[in-house]
Structure 1
Amino acid sequence: MVFFNLWSVLQWYLRPFIKWFLRKTTRLCELQRICYGDKPGAERSRNVEKSLMLSRTRDVKQVVSYLDNTVLERSFVPRNFPEILNPSVAIILRAKKINPKLHELFIVSFRRCLAQIWSYRLLLEEVEEMRKTHYDSSLPEHEEKLLKLWSLLVPNEDLESRVTKQWQYIGFQGDDPKTDFRGMGLLGLENLLFFASEYPQASSHVLSHSHHPKYGYTYAVVGINLTSMAYYLLKDGSAKTYMFNARQYLPNMNLFHKFYCYLFYEFDKMWIESKPENMMEFSIIFKKFENAIRNELADPASVFRINIEVDTI
């Protein structure tokens, strides 16, 4: 640990010299070397972010601060990208002495990286806000979402009342589901609802597994535990691999929900394949699953998607 800290300090002091040496020998700044040399997606965007965060150049620091403020103001959205990203890129080009006419490909690549990095930061803010929003049974919009979840998962059976043991059929612990949302707030419900509405065959398939006579589990409670996993993977940056490699999309709430759906479907597969003796093995299998996901996310080339065949099961 001491050696690691010493090496980190040494790298900090040597970094300017190394960058100067590479610029002289390659005639490219660090950002150019990353955008031209790294694979598009997680590898490139992560390294661009690291370079920007470690930069000691005043103009670069100001651009980072400005982009952070647009996130806090919730204005970092695609319709505002021209007025936000164009001047930001121009300042970086000037600060790094990059000729825009000679490096048009760099501009496209770098701009994409900025869009990914700060879209991810905006997503963090939005997810955190939803997590902190408590489920409130006095709010019609909250109640409507909960009742919609039931109708999607159990379309052929009506609820006898708002508070009923029927909720246990889809894996809530008691007669009133609102108590299970305390940890993850409205985020847990939104995740469950997205899975049921966007992947009806897959969610039905997983729900049927939760009723297995030997390997059954509490569908909704496990789903909320997976919301917690997705949340912490997003918060500690591990989910950047998933978000940045989804090349047709920028990080947003929809993509976070899809990440959650992937986790739910894959956890269900691992649970059934593990053939647990009972629910007492949940924490062991859940930890094993989290470690497997983290190992996959550690590879910047990893791409995650729900198998299309699931919708035909």
Structure 2
Amino acid sequence: MQCINKLKMIVFNLWSALQWYLRPFIKWFLRKTTQLCELQRICYGDKAGSERTRNVEKSLMLSRTRDVREIVSHLDNLVSERRFSPPIFREILDPSIAIILRIKKINPKLHPSFVGSFRRCLEQIWCYRSLLERVEELRRTQFDSNNDEHEEKLLLLWSLLVPDVELEARVTKQWQHIGFQGDDPKTDFRGMGLLGLENLIFFATEYPQVSSHVLSHSLHPKYGYTFAVVGINITSMAYYLLKDGSAKTYMFNAKQYLPNISLFHRFYCYLFYEFDKMWIESKPQNIMEFSVIYKKFENAVRTELADPASVFRINVEVDNI
């Protein structure tokens, strides 16, 4: 088995190298035969959304043209400086688009639809990169019980999930009712930092009926699980799907939104709701089956995200278990 894997890796590396060397010749041939550059062929031929934007991104990243590489570097710098924001998109992107039109010899009067499609792709690509920066910042921010804002958010989570019951104290076993492991929730946020808390609050705020539905499942006497701790595990899944690029399918197919922190939260809510469905349908014997079901769920999500046409929506189904 190890020899087969090594052989596969060798073949893959050889094929990748061959593609790298042949790419300029293939592009030249297609340009001559279609009278369109690669970016035009993508924007005209690929379906709007994940398929088109991913291919535009790939084309830009693989470009050997100095001006294109400088555009990519410039936009990346704007992201790292937190200056890539919707209010100034035209100011940021117009010069880059003008350079692309010039070096690719595209007449915007003859190809007005290309400009619009290409602009949307650029917005999605670098909004996604901005989102990565924002999510990473939240993940690295550890919950601080001495920070009043952090404490207020934690208490807000309780009031959203259990509005009719008051906390007896800040440190209390009551936290276990919503799925924290001990008397003080702060210890459970170590892995995902403030991101885990922000995800849970968004779920409870934007989808109160759904989150209440999921919480009720977590309290089931036979199939119950630790709601908050599982929620933080789902945060981890969402984070790594975003980081390795798998979540681009979800983000780029969300027609009404550009990738931002709100869209990441919605992605999280979808994952949590769907995991809960799989958990209940699996009828686990006990919580010890969590790792197996979690991995099965992650594999299913990755398979779905591998299809560029996938669109995720929360379809609420109220059941009695």
Per-residue Cα deviation, 1:96-140 (whole angstroms, up to 9, x for no partner): 111111110000000000000000000000000000000000011
Alignment RMSD: 1.0
- Deviation, 1:38, is 0.1
Tell me which of 270, 273, 279 is aligned to 1:271. 279
Structure 1 gaps, min length 5: none
Partners of 2:111 and 2:73 in 1: CA distance: 25
Tell me which of 253, 263, 279 is aligned to 1:255. 263
User: 1:288 maps to what in 2?
Assistant: 296
- Deviation, 1:157, is 0.5
Tell me which of 22, 25, 45 is aligned to 1:17. 25
**Residue type at the aligned position of 2:101:** L
> Is residue 227 of structure 2 the alignment partner of residue 219 of structure 1?
yes
User: 1:194 maps to what in 2?
Assistant: 202
Partners of 1:129 and 1:81 in 2: CA distance: 23
User: 2:143 maps to what in 1?
Assistant: 135
**Residue type at the aligned position of 2:55:** N
Partners of 1:219 and 1:3 in 2: CA distance: 45
Partners of 1:225 and 1:95 in 2: CA distance: 47
Tell me which of 110, 116, 136 is aligned to 2:118. 110
Partners of 2:14 and 2:252 in 1: CA distance: 32
Tell me which of 73, 76, 92 is aligned to 1:68. 76
* Structure 1 length-normalised TM: 0.98
User: 1:48 maps to what in 2?
Assistant: 56
Partners of 1:111 and 1:69 in 2: CA distance: 18
**Residue type at the aligned position of 2:113:** L
Tell me which of 86, 92, 97 is aligned to 1:84. 92
* Structure 2 length-normalised TM: 0.96
**Residue type at the aligned position of 2:137:** E
- Deviation, 1:202, is 0.2
- Deviation, 1:95, is 1.0
- Deviation, 1:309, is 5.7
Q: How many residues align?
A: 311
> Is residue 42 of structure 2 the alignment partner of residue 34 of structure 1?
yes
Per-residue Cα deviation, 1:207-241 (whole angstroms, up to 9, x for no partner): 00001110000000000000000000000000000
Q: Secondary structure at the match of 2:71?
A: helix
Deviation above 2 Å: which 4+ runs of structure 1?
none
Partners of 1:189 and 1:274 in 2: CA distance: 27
Per-residue Cα deviation, 1:35-93 (whole angstroms, up to 9, x for no partner): 00000000000000000000000110011011101101111111010110111100111
What's the % identity of the aligned pairs? 81
> Is residue 216 of structure 2 the alignment partner of residue 208 of structure 1?
yes
Tell me which of 142, 149, 154 is aligned to 2:157. 149
